[in-house]
Amino acid sequence: MVFFLIQLNPHVHRRQKSELLTMGKKTAVVYFSLTGHTQAVAEIVQEVLDADIIALKPIKSLNSKSSMKFVWGGYQAKMNKTPDLEPYEFDVEKYGFIILGSPVWAWTLSPPMRSFLKQHDLTNKKVAFWMGSMGPKKKAAERFKKALPECNLVGELHLQGTHEENWGENYRKAKEWAQTLQ
């Protein structure tokens, strides 16, 4: 009932609507990770925000140890492919805040994250996202935003690093970022 009153009231703006519909609901961290960095960040964010964590796994996974992953993965990303995912539990109505994590692939979001966004309507939802990459993000964050619907975007983060030392620093940044989302 309250849900419909909020949705129908023309005096309640999108951001206010999103805040009102968030009340009392859980937070979800949804991520895809091929080589583990995004997964480690997801676990940090989950712990800080006491969130549910959902891993996206394509049915046909790339071999994370093969250098061919750059060719096939880069091609899929460039072509905006949406690969089929292994079954996972996610009920959009259960969550008031959804935090999305993806590696940068071919300077855009990863195909499994694109599949997730195709499967769920996040309109008016409170959303934040982060991306990790080896080099500069270039247009990756813009492309992620373009793939998001009309949501209430409250935060974004880019983490860059090639060696594990960089990632130690990145994990610290991720924790700080998650604390700002509380």
Ligand X SMILES: Cc1cc2nc3c(=O)[nH]c(=O)nc-3n(C[C@H](O)[C@H](O)[C@H](O)COP(=O)(O)O)c2cc1C
Applying CB under 6 A, the residues found at the interface with ligand X are 33-39, 69-70, 73-74, 103-107, 132-135
- Please state, in angstroms and as integers, the Cα–Cα distance from residue 73 to each residue in 36, 91, 163, 178, following that order: 16, 28, 20, 28
**Nearer Cβ to ligand X, position 42 or 122?**
42
Min dist. Cβ of residue 89 to ligand X (A)? 21
Min dist. Cβ of residue 42 to ligand X (A)? 9
**Nearer Cβ to ligand X, position 58 or 132?**
132
**Nearer Cβ to ligand X, position 3 or 70?**
70
- Please state, in angstroms and as integers, the Cα–Cα distance from residue 36 to each residue in 22, 134, 144, following that order: 30, 13, 20
**Nearer Cβ to ligand X, position 30 or 104?**
104
34 near 25, Cβ under 8 Å?
A: no
115 near 82, Cβ under 8 Å?
A: yes
Min dist. Cβ of residue 32 to ligand X (A)? 7
Min dist. Cβ of residue 116 to ligand X (A)? 15
Min dist. Cβ of residue 55 to ligand X (A)? 11
84 near 112, Cβ under 8 Å?
A: no
Residue least distant from ligand X (Cβ): 73
**Nearer Cβ to ligand X, position 74 or 83?**
74
**Nearer Cβ to ligand X, position 95 or 105?**
105
Min dist. Cβ of residue 5 to ligand X (A)? 41
